[in-house]
Structure 1
Amino acid sequence: MHLQGVPNEIMCKVFPTTLKGPARVWFSKIPPSTVSSFEELSKLFVNSFIKGQRHKHSLSSLLTIEQGDNESLQSFITRFIREALTVDEMDDKLLLATFHNGVNSDLFIHKLYEQEPQTMAELVHSAQSFMNTEDVIIAKKIKKA
């Protein structure tokens, strides 16, 4: 549009028609008459989306993450770690505590208390070992059946 010399006003009017999802929601929250040029609108957009800035959460937000009744341990760990990466104050001890709070696998919890991991890396390694053992037990049961 710049190359074709489209006026500022038209670019501002057309811009929202190109937006979807979170970008459209973001645009709808801009108060009317607060943006005076397309250049200003562009800078607002870049500051909100293009820089790769992600909304950071507090550690307490991890306390709301719980393993679902039918959710696999693998799925829960993946979801927990994805959310943990959005937390500003990453501390392994606190992350481990919030993980313990959310996990529902009784056998895995028992394993965690037998060999208590000191870091999230140790916890993920322990979980992988646990899931591999579970897979072998399930395979043996299927073979016997």
Structure 2
Amino acid sequence: MPQVESYDRSKDPLDHLESFKTLMHLQRVPDAIMCRAFPTTLKGPIRIWFSRLTPNSIGTFKELSAQFASYFIGGHKYKKSTACLMNIKHREDETLRSYITRFNKEALSINEADDKILVVAFTNGLRKGKFLFSLYKNDPKTMLEVPFSS
């Protein structure tokens, strides 16, 4: 049976909540049991936060989720915008393969990135050279059209 990692503030609290809820809903766990099981996924000072909640002050898991999210929202990892891709530059000491890998890793962290913007950002970050000129010549409209084997 899959398990939810303990929450220790090093990861996104909303992601932790969603992982927990998904696992509980898959097993058709009742709301009251979810409330009792949730603290088992908390670690260290986070568990202390839970123990300091006023007894019987929470009636549903939805209320517990709201309390948890509002208290730990500072740890929420916000999705990046496509604008941050414009800052990725192909470094002088970097291979093309390394730049492509680094760019793709950042592009995956963008929620619903537009393919045309990805091409522009990717091209914008390239150093001058044969590959860049081949892109200008071929004018790809999507990342699938970018000839990475060049």
Interval containing the TM-score (normalised by the shorter chain): 0.5 to 0.7
Determine which of 92, 102, 118 is the counterpart of 1:69. Answer: 92
Counterparts of 1:38 and 1:63, CA distance in 2: 45
Q: Residue deviations 1:85-117, cap 9 Å, x none? A: 111231111111111110114111110011121
The two structures have a TM-score, normalised by structure 2, of 0.51
Q: Which residue of 2 aligns with 1:107?
A: 130
Matches within 5 A, 1:1-145: 23=10, 35-37=49-51, 55-123=78-146, 126-128=147-149, 130=150
Structure with the bigger RCO (C-alpha within 8 Å, sep 6+) is 2
CA distance in 2, matches of 1:88, 1:75: 23
Larger Rg: 1
Stretches of structure 2 lacking an aligned partner (at least 5 in a row)? 1-5, 14-44, 54-63
Residue identity opposite 1:35 in structure 2: W
| Cα drift, residue 78 of structure 1 | 0.7
Instruction: Show CA shifts across 1:50-82 (max 9, x none).
Output: xxx964100101011001101111110111011
CA distance in 1, matches of 2:83, 2:130: 26
Q: Is the 8 A contact 1:54 1:86 kept in 2?
A: no
Distance 1:85 1:110 in 2: 25
Aligned 8 A contact 1:55 1:86 in 2: no
Task: Measure the CA separation in 2 of the matches of 1:109 and 1:85.
Answer: 22
Identity rate, percent: 32
SS at match of 1:81: helix
- RMSD over aligned Cα atoms: 3.8
C-alpha distance in 1, partners of 2:100/2:124?
13
Moved over 4 A (4+): none
Query: Structure 1-normalised TM-score?
Result: 0.53
Is contact 1:64-1:102 (8 Å) kept?
yes
Higher share in helix? 1
